[in-house]
Structure 1
Amino acid sequence: MNILIVYAHPESRSLNGALKDFAVKHLEDAGHRVRVSDLYAMKWKAVLDADDSLDGQAGARFDPSLDSRRAFERGRQSRDIALEQGKLRWADAVILQFPLWWFSMPAILKGWVERVYAYGFAYGVGEHSDARWGDRYGEGTLAGKRAMLMVTTGGWESHYSPRGINGPMDDILFPIQHGILYYPGFDVLPPFLVYRTSRTDEARFSTLCDALGQRLDDLWRTAPIAFRPQNAGDYDIPGLTLRPDIAPDRSGFGAHLRPPVAGESAPDGDRAREK
């Protein structure tokens, strides 16, 4: 299989760097083809602006969507954007690896998403009508591919528990997993999480590698997070709210997860929500 790792950490000698190196070797030893977009090493331009089009602005003022659409349709995107889109087309699975900084991904990775996810490539695709609202949330140009987050944080696991001070990790990652990965069609696997990074010694690192190796071995066997598809009947269109009879007692992020079907086990990322 073809696997793309989009890696966002400025220090190659960090725990993230060591885990990335382990993942690449483990996957290659298993016979997979691996490519790494090391954003800091690439000196990735994080800012979306008019320079992303080789033809400059589409109108009198810069319009992010209009300019992105025109450049994508005409093959006039800047070369770095087109190369990353090519990697996404090539990949069967994508891993976004990053440290959790201020409750989100590093700015350089957010900038990768904003620039690479061009209009017509990752959004603005499909029919918009009273019957469906575009090919997104379970459909789209990246449907059929798998994606997983590898996230490290200095906080304790209890800090990110359902009653923890930082809020549940599932909720913190929801905008990334549901909004960035599921939106253009990825099947999103439960994340690989590392807490209390400063407490990692050689013994713990070995344990982490064992756990990560198992997750990588299971990339095509792990059940995806059961997000509800947008166009499968659970949502009223075009209002895009859940029908009154769907999860009537639930709201917030958890309402957009489908309960397990009888006899089906929920992936790890869903169990806390179904309790």
Structure 2
Amino acid sequence: MKILIVLAHPEPKSFNAALYQSAIKTFIENGHEVRTTDLYTMKFNPVYDRSNFKSVKNPNFLKLQVEEIYAAEMNNSYTDETRIEQEKVEWCDLMIWQFPLWRFAPPAILKGWTDRIFTSGRFFKGGGYYENGTLKGKKALISVTTGSPEETYASDGFHGDILGILRPINRGILECVGFSVLEPEINYSVAHLTEDERKSLIGRWNSRLKNIFNEPIISAGKY
């Protein structure tokens, strides 16, 4: 199978980076093909403006959706950085996002990546959304870390239900373009882990990934 793993964390010694590297190793050892996107290492520009395109539909007023559709019509005339990432997404059978939860959301660099990559005319076309989305048949999995402990993310916890917090990602971004989503991998309060706890959680992650293609998809739920 073909796997794309996207990392959004600025520290190469972080627990997120360890999970990312471990996933690459596990998939390759089990005969899968892996491509990667390390957003901070590649200094990906999350700002979405006219610089995302090589073509121009309307030079007097920037409406991004119009320019996206026009770029698709003009043989995908996006900037090379965008086009390469789009091709990775179209190539994969499974996409994994590895990131820390910052203020109940992914880092801005990852959100900016989705803004620039998931474009109309290429990923949104023909009126297809959700079950009829362009990327139907592909699976996606978010692997997220938190600063606070697990009990604070219960439905009656201090922060609230973690699945509700993640719904804008699973439903509003991934399912919206057609991905089927898998149960999120959530590691809590990672800054306070001992070395043995880190090793145990990475081992659990590796075991899960070995059987990931046998897992059932979930419904993220509507708002």
Class of the TM-score when normalised by the shorter of the 2 chains: over 0.9
Q: Which runs of 5+ in 2 are unaligned?
A: none
What are the equivalent positions in structure 2 for 1:78-157 lying under 5 Å apart? 78-123=79-124, 125-126=125-126, 134-157=127-150
- What letter corresponds to residue 144 of structure 1 in structure 2? G
Taking the aligned partners of 1:195 and 1:227, their CA distance within structure 2 comes to: 20
Residues 208-227 of structure 1 correspond to what in structure 2 (within 5 A)? 208-226=201-219
Cα gap change, 1:35 to 1:206, in 2 (>3 Å): same
Conserved? CA contact 1:7–1:98, under 8 Å: yes
Q: Residue type matched to 1:140 in 2?
A: G
Asked if residue 194 in structure 1 is aligned to residue 195 in structure 2, the reply is no
TM-score normalised to structure 2 length: 0.95
- Tell which deviates more after alignment, 8-17 or 58-67: 58-67
Q: Aligned Cα RMSD in Å?
A: 1.3
Q: What is the 5 A alignment of 1:154-173?
A: 154-173=147-166
Q: Measure the CA separation in 2 of the matches of 1:22 and 1:202.
A: 15
Counterpart residue type for residue 160 of structure 1: Y
Report what 1:266 is aligned to. Answer: none
Cα deviation digits, residues 194-219 of structure 1 (max 9, x gap)? 00111222211121112111221222
Cα drift, residue 58 of structure 1: 2.3
- Which whole-Å CA distance do the structure 2 matches of 1:210 and 1:11 have between them? 21
- Which of 167, 170, 185 is 1:174 aligned to? 167
- Separation in 2, partners of 1:72, 1:58: 15
Q: Is the 8 A contact 1:58 1:70 kept in 2?
A: no
Per the alignment, residue 44 of structure 1 pairs with 44
1:102-134 deviations in Å (ceiling 9; x for gaps): 1000000000000001111222x22xxxxxxx2
Matched-pair contact (CA < 8 Å) for 2:167–2:220 = no
Q: Residue type matched to 2:169 in 1?
A: I
Task: Write the letter of the residue equivalent to 1:167.
Answer: G
Task: Encode CA deviations 1:205-250: one digit per residue, 9 max, x unaligned.
Answer: 121112111221222111111357xxxxxxxxxxxxxxxxxxxxxx
CA distance in 2, matches of 1:191, 1:175: 13
Distance 1:215 1:178 in 2: 23
> Which one has the largest radius of gyration?
1
Question: Percent identity of the aligned residues?
Answer: 38
The residue identity in structure 1 corresponding to 2:110 is: L
TM-fit CA distance, 1:7: 0.7
| Structure (1 or 2) with the greater helix fraction | 2
Structure 1 residue identity aligned to 2:99: F
Residue 150 of structure 1: CA displacement?
0.5
Structure 1 consecutive aligned stretches of length 4 or more whose deviation exceeds 6 Å: none
If the length of structure 1 is used for normalisation, what is the TM-score? 0.78
For residue 95 of structure 1, give the secondary structure of its aligned residue in structure 2.
strand
How far 1:52 sits from its partner (Å)?
A: 0.9
Unaligned runs of 5+ in 1: 127-133, 229-251, 254-275
| CA distance in 2: counterparts of 1:138 and 1:219, whole angstroms | 21
Q: Secondary structure at the match of 1:37?
A: strand
CA contact (8 A) 1:50 1:57 kept: no
